């Protein structure tokens, strides 16, 4: 839209007159339809699926490196589904920043989503006590 708005048929600035501002906006969209389509096209080209797929490939490569170093199975139930990497000292970190995992792999253990949630719920115990308790629970669950 232009910086200075024209006067409406009532002698007011178009933005002040409700009737004329709606008409002015509708006309503006109609007159600038091609320019808007072009700018959308340029935006979508810049943010194409190729960029998204490249970042997804990098994400999978990073995750596979971490799995190769830390482990690719839950240390409690040996599940490979929905694997998480738990920081054993309780230091917060971003789960998508794989450089943290690669720099200090000794600080992380692989856990399935289920056991990771349980460990966080029972957080006041030491990690070794938690793992022993969860392994015992897993054995009992499998026998029943």
Residues in the chain: 144
Q: Can you give the pLDDT at residue 42?
A: 82
DSSP 144: -
The H or E element that residue 108 is part of is strand 108-112
Q: What's the rounded Cα separation, in Å, for the pair 63 and 40?
A: 34
Q: Can you give the pLDDT at residue 119?
A: 82
Neighbouring C-beta atoms of residue 17, cutoff 10 Å: 17
Domain boundaries, the chain: 7-45, 71-143
pLDDT string in tens for the chain (144-residue length): 456 767 777 777 777 777 777 787 778 888 888 888 888 888 877 766 655 566 666 778 888 888 999 999 998 888 999 998 888 887 777 766 778 888 888 988 899 998 888 888 877 667 777 777 778 877 777 776
């Amino acid at each position: 839209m232009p910086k200075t708005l024209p006067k409406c048929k009532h002698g007011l600035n178009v933005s002040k007159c409700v009737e004329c501002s709606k008409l002015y906006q509708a006309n503006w969209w109609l007159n600038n339809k091609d320019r808007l389509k072009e700018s959308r096209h340029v935006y979508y080209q810049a943010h194409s699926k190729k960029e998204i797929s490249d970042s997804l490939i990098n994400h999978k490569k990073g995750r596979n490196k971490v799995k190769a170093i830390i482990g690719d199975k839950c240390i409690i139930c040996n599940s490979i589904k929905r694997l998480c990497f738990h920081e054993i000292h309780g230091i917060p970190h971003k789960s998508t920043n794989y450089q943290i995992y690669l720099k200090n792999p000794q600080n992380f253990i692989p856990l399935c989503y289920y056991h990771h949630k349980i460990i966080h719920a029972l957080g006041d115990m030491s990690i070794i006590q938690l793992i022993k308790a969860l392994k015992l629970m897993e054995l009992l669950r499998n026998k029943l």
